[in-house]
């Protein structure tokens, strides 16, 4: 039996002090995201399950924002320390698992139907085009899967998302 090919899409914000909705119900405060542990359990499990082949991990803002939602608007081109930290944490999980799975930074903002596809999301699409279809497992918000669906629909390649599962 062939392993199930999976792209993990995550907002792995556990342990980060960033703005976000996880902060006592308000997007206007900064806090440690100690409660957001679901992604932190799911990723190592998926990386070490022999019935699953993780194709890539795509990290995006979600519970931890890349900006102060009370005073700023999101700029998708602005660097985001939060995503950089999440990518580093996902890369540590990959190293601990002994696998060689690429990790990419995805969307810094919510989905913009007219917006440019984030670079990391484009890299995941390139992997799917080169390696074939995979299940996309969204354990973060749905911005990057939305960009993937939009772009693959435009090129008549939606078949590259074998299944879409959103948390």
> What pLDDT score was predicted for residue 139?
85
Which DSSP helix (H) or strand (E) runs through 152? Answer: helix 143-154
Average pLDDT, the chain: 85
List of the chain residues with pLDDT < 50: 22, 32-33
Burial code (b: 16+ CB inside 10 Å, e: under 16) for 55-78 equals bbbbbbbbbbbbbeeeeeebebee
As a whole number of angstroms, the distance between CA 9 and CA 24 comes to: 24
| pTM of the model as a whole | 0.87
Task: Give the Cα separation of 153 and 137 in Å (integer).
Answer: 18
Q: What was the pLDDT predicted at 95?
A: 97
Query: Using an 8 Å Cβ cutoff, are 66 and 109 in contact?
Result: yes
């Amino acid at each position: 039996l062939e392993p199930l090919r999976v792209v993990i899409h995550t907002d792995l914000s556990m342990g980060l002090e960033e703005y976000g909705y996880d902060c006592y119900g308000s997007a206007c405060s900064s806090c440690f995201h100690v409660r957001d542990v679901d992604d932190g359990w799911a990723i190592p499990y998926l990386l070490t399950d022999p019935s699953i082949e993780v194709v890539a991990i795509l990290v995006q803002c979600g519970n931890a924002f890349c900006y102060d939602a009370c005073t700023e608007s999101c700029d998708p081109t602005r660097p985001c320390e939060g995503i950089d930290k999440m990518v580093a944490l996902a890369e540590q999980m990959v190293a601990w698992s002994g696998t060689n799975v690429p990790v990419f930074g995805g969307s810094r903002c919510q989905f913009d139907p007219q917006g440019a596809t984030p670079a990391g999301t484009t890299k995941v699409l390139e992997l799917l085009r080169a390696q074939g279809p995979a299940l996309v497992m969204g354990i973060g918000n749905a911005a990057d899967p939305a960009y993937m669906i939009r772009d693959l629909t435009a090129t008549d390649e939606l078949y590259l998302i074998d299944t879409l599962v959103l948390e």
